Amino acid sequence: MRTRPLAVALLLAFAPIASASPSWAQAAAEDPTTDMARARFKEGVGFYDKGQFEQARAAFLQAYALKKHPAVLLNLAWSSLKSAHTLEAQRYFKQFLTEGKDITDKQRADANDGLNQANAKLGRIDVVAAAGTEITVDGDKAGTAPLTDPIMVEPGAHTVKFKGTDGTTDTDSVTVLAGEKAVARFAKTASPAPAAVPPAASATPDSTPPSEPAAPPAETPPNPETPKEPPSSSHKGLLSPPSNVAPVVIGGILVLAGVGVAIAMGAAKSSAQTKANDTANQIKGIGGTSCNPPSPANLVSTISGACDRFVSDNNDVNTDATIGNIAVGVGVVAGAATVVYWLLADKGEDAPSTSATLPSLTPMIGPSTGGFSLSGRF
């Protein structure tokens, strides 16, 4: 879905509010700074509409430097968030909410939503230090203890430096994840007291995106609406890997074992069949006509030994064939069970509680049958 910045093409604040001129546009035209701010703002709207958020951010920065209007600041905050300048966006949203005096409820809601999205992508550092301790983070001054708010930082490793009122210094290194909190302590503080930090606003990135605005009007006062993003989806489909892959591994091993045994038994069967054929040719070569009973009479002793080898070879052929067939059956059943488990097993997402059990593979051995049985409730 295409996103757009706030639907404000020309800002009423670009014109002098107390002007006695019958047309605010005519009054604005007399102010070169306002004209330049309007031009940069239009460029930002165009870039944002094309998804070029870095260029939009640069244009809105120039517009806000020329004309510090709340609507420009809110556009600047959203374009900063879209261009991955998350910490910068968080500060702009807070500035908009703090300094905005005539903003509408809709603008305030959109700014709070953007602030929540930014906070969810940042980490927080809570500082434990005595009152009056100067605090810097990565070389930037963060304030003096006690801090009323946590220090918002980009996820990763950070260096927090302290300077006490008596000149003592200390350094603490912390690593913070997105949406998580780390604590930095001034080790030389005799009685450290944790700063009173209000709980961070609960937020999920893009969980409640702002509504999509209409196209910017040609000559209208500010009526900002915030861009809307499609909610992210974490739904796992039927083909997604199950949360427990151990049965899949076991099934794969059984399939490979079945294939390997079947191939080995096929080779053994072929060898035994070759031996049986060779023995039969030997019997014919020495003039034998029958093995049961061995004949002719003058060759009984010779033919009997060859017949015993022939029977043994045929038994080997049958045994190898049986084992190979069972191995193929095991491989097929294991493969089918693995596929069924993959499709129906828990994918790790929320699901209603049920009494379903995973498929089980049970060996079956009998006088005339053999193989495995697949059972379970789904």
pLDDT tens readout for residues 60-70: 999 999 988 88
Query: For 44-48, 102-106, 283-287, 314-318, which range has the lowest pLDDT when averaged over its residues?
Result: 283-287
* Mean pLDDT, rounded, of the chain: 75
Which pLDDT belongs to residue 195? 54
Which pLDDT belongs to residue 59? 94
Q: Domain locations in the chain?
A: 12-185, 246-349+356-375
The class (CATH top level) of 12-185 is: mainly alpha
pLDDT confidence bin for 7, thresholds 50/70/90: very low
Does residue 119 have a pLDDT over 50?
yes
For the chain, what is the HEC assignment? CCCCCCCCCCCHHHCCCCCCCCCHHHHHHCCHHHHHHHHHHHHHHHHHHCCCHHHHHHHHHHHHHHCCCHHHHHHHHHHHHHCCCHHHHHHHHHHHHHHCCCCCHHHHHHHHHHHHHHHHHCEEEEEECCCCCEEEECCEEEEECCCCCCEEECCEEEEEEEECCCCCEEEEEEEECCCCEEEEECCCCCCCCECCCCCCCCCCCCCCCCCCCCCCCCCCCCCCCCCCCCCCCCCCCCCCCCCCCHHHHHHHHHHHHHHHHHHHHHHHHHHHHHHHHHHHHHHHHCCCCEECCEECHHHHHHHHHHHHHHHHHHHHHHHHHHHHHHHHHHHHHHHHHHHHHHHHCCCCCCCCCCCCCCCEEEEEECCCCEEEEEECCC
Does residue 318 have a pLDDT over 80?
yes
* pLDDT average, residue stretch 301-321: 83
Query: For 68-72, 95-99, 244-248, 363-367, which range has the lowest pLDDT when averaged over its residues?
Result: 363-367
**Residues 243-274 pLDDT 10s:** 787 888 898 898 898 888 889 988 998 998 99
